[in-house]
Chains A and B, each alone.
Chain A
Amino acid sequence: MESSLYTFFFVDPWPWWLGGICIGLLVPAMYYFFNTPLGVSTGYRNILKIMLPGSKLRYLNSAECLDVFNWRFFFLTGIIVGAFISARVSGLAWFTGEMGIFTTRLDWSFLSQAVWFLGGGLLLGLGARIAHGCTSGHSIHGIANLDRASIITTLLFVIGGIITVHLINVFVLGGM
């Protein structure tokens, strides 16, 4: 019994409802304890500012990021640590070049892969800043608070994703 419970929580992928409940509870919990909205992407400004400490760019010198080691830094660090723990308890390898069908169905060189994911990241970073939030800030926190901007933005996230995956099917995976 004990080992099957361990397997359920720590080895097998969680069912959708368990993940949904845990992630959803973070929204009210972070308000209840810290009066802070759930959100990740703004924290990348902290990382950027740590890399460019002397930058004069106005965006990196606004009042909200005077302290780069504010709550956002700790929250982002926690996500990495939490996933690290998840990988350890479920017995994954320490490092892997795997990225789902992207690496099982394609045999791109490491350089091509790096450029592809760097490009995807650039769009994520720029897009999130222009839209004032990402999946956690808009799609989960924003819609849970019935924010009109978040509902519109999430629809566009999904439209962009669907178009991209269809283009990947046709031009990269070759009509899967």
Chain B
Amino acid sequence: MLRKLGFLGCGIFFGFSLSRVGASNYDLIYGLFSGTDLKLAWVIITAIIVGYGGMRWLHWRGGRGYRGQVITVIKKPLSWLTPVGGILFGVGWGMAGACPGTVLAQVGEGKILGLFTMAGIVGGTYIYAWLVEKGLIP
């Protein structure tokens, strides 16, 4: 239970940060992809650099967590389908002005239209489950 509360806390920190920096703001996503306002690009680049530095630091400390547990980083699978998923996702990102994380922040902020994006993501997950079931996707 403590572990689950820990994840709730991480989520709250994540959602608060996304909302405060404006990642849940449609106009900033629009600016990111039209090149008119690159604030979110700098947010993402900073996050990558800080995340990389933190991971290097954990590695330097022996790759162990706070109780000495071994940290395992698993690489994600890459197939010919991965780019297809990437493009579909990118089109959705541009249309909805949100990704699966920031739409939750939109909903938390009370943006009604975010609920439809969220419902769509659940639906898209169902389509994926169905395609896997029919053997159309490995």
Contact = CB atoms under 8 A, between A and B. Distances in A.
A76 interface: yes
Interface in B98-135: 98-114, 116-130, 132-133
A152 B83 contact: yes
Interface residues of A, number: 125
Most buried by B among A33, A121, A145: A121
A76 B104 contact: yes
Nearest to A21: B50
B16 A86 contact: yes
Contact of B110 (A41, A72, A94): A94
- Per DSSP, chain A at the interface is helix
A134 B124 contact: no
Interface string A1-24: 000000001100111111111111
B109 A92 contact: yes
Contacts of B72: 35
Contacts of B49: 20, 24
B120 A121 contact: yes
Contacts of A83: 15-16, 18-19, 24, 104-109
Contacts of B118: 121
A74 B11 contact: yes
Interface string B7-50: 11111111111111111111101101110000110111111111
Given A124-B89, A134-B89, A149-B75, A57 B133 contact: yes
Contacts of B81: 130
A150 to B, nearest CB: 6
A41 B23 CA distance: 16
A134 B7 CA distance: 18
19 contacts: A9-B20, A17-B46, A19-B22, A19-B43, A22-B13, A35-B69, A77-B11, A82-B14, A122-B120, A123-B95, A125-B121, A129-B125, A130-B137, A139-B48, A153-B85, A159-B87, A160-B94, A161-B90, A165-B33
Interface of A: 9-10, 13-37, 40-41, 43-45, 47-48, 51-52, 55, 57-60, 69, 71-72, 74-87, 90, 92-103, 113-114, 116-150, 152-166, 168-169
